[in-house]
Amino acid sequence: MSLLRKSAFGGALFIASAAGALAADVPYSSPPPAPAQPLRRAEPLTGWYLRGDLAYRLGTSDGAAPATGFTTPSGEKMGSSIAAGIGGGIKSGWLRTDVTIDFATPMKYEATSGNTSAKVSAATALFNGYVDLGTWYRATPYIGAGAGTARVSINDYTSATLPPFSGNTSRVKWNFAWAAMAGVAYAMSPNTMIDLGYRYINFGDVTTGNDSFGSMTLKQVAAHEVRVGLRWSFDDFATAR
């Protein structure tokens, strides 16, 4: 019996040693790496929102048309102004629409010929549409366009060589206005976005008052704007992580 136990114990030791040696010869393979996770995009906001904007506005025009018989002014330029606006709209998926109202300080028109100058103001009400181009790391680029009406006024007109030379030179005109814009919005919180963008806006023509010699028209008054604003939504939205 003692011999049998010794034989069994020796056999067990031999089998354990052989199994250990076999395991040492098998190469170790680490588990495959997890597949890379694709960049997550935010779910689009859907719902109503309010907005407020400030803008630096650099004015332009297609030149002046003086009264018949007078020389077109030279050395023309249009100055800058500051604009502020409010609005509200709705977003559904990657599409947005809103209505905005903007007011601005006057832009100064100047021409070197005849020391001609005037102040031009424009307030607008626009219906706008935008396409959001996707969201990455909370940033959403967009493009858009708008159309509506502009209340354009001209005041403080003076000139040594171009009419009108007397009387009330101020005038207010309602024009068709249109705009094109692009920018990027960044989600600061689940329902607040900061919006940085560019807008070109066209106000149409504006004409001074007239006297017996006639009036002067500034053609296609427009502006390039750099805008910054906030949008606040009524509904929370998911942001990219």
Q: In whole angstroms, what is the distance from residue 126 CA to residue 144 CA? A: 12
Q: With 0-12 CB in 10 A as exposed, 13-18 as middle and 19+ as buried, what is 160?
A: exposed
The reply to whether 175 falls in a domain is yes
Q: Find the CATH number of the domain harbouring 70.
A: 2.40.160.20
Q: How many domains does the chain have?
A: 1
The reply to whether 1 falls in a domain is no
Bridge partners of 96, per DSSP, are 91, 130
The reply to whether 101 falls in a domain is yes
- What is the mean pLDDT for each group of 10 consecutive residues in the chain (241 residues)? 47 49 48 53 67 98 93 93 97 94 97 92 98 94 98 95 93 97 94 96 96 95 98 65 36
Predicted TM-score (pTM) of the model is 0.78
Classify strands 47-60 and 217-233 as parallel, antiparallel or unpaired.
antiparallel
The reply to whether 7 falls in a domain is no
The reply to whether 18 falls in a domain is no
Q: Contact, 135 vs 41, CB < 8 A?
A: yes
The reply to whether 23 falls in a domain is no
Give the pLDDT of residue 113.
80
Q: Contact, 203 vs 122, CB < 8 A?
A: yes
Give the pLDDT of residue 44.
47
Q: In whole angstroms, what is the distance from residue 235 CA to residue 241 CA? A: 19
Give the pLDDT of residue 79.
96
The reply to whether 119 falls in a domain is yes
Q: Contact, 52 vs 229, CB < 8 A?
A: yes
Q: What is the pLDDT of residues 16-56, one digit of tens each?
A: 454 454 444 445 455 666 555 444 444 445 689 999 999 99
Task: Locate 14 and state its tokens.
Answer: 């031999």
Question: Which domain does 155 fall in, by range?
Answer: 47-233
Q: Contact, 99 vs 88, CB < 8 A?
A: yes
Contacts of 73 (CB under 8 A, 6+ apart): 64, 66, 111, 112, 113, 114, 116, 159, 162
The reply to whether 240 falls in a domain is no
Contacts of 62 (CB under 8 A, 6+ apart): 219, 220
Give the pLDDT of residue 78.
96
75: helix, strand or coil? coil
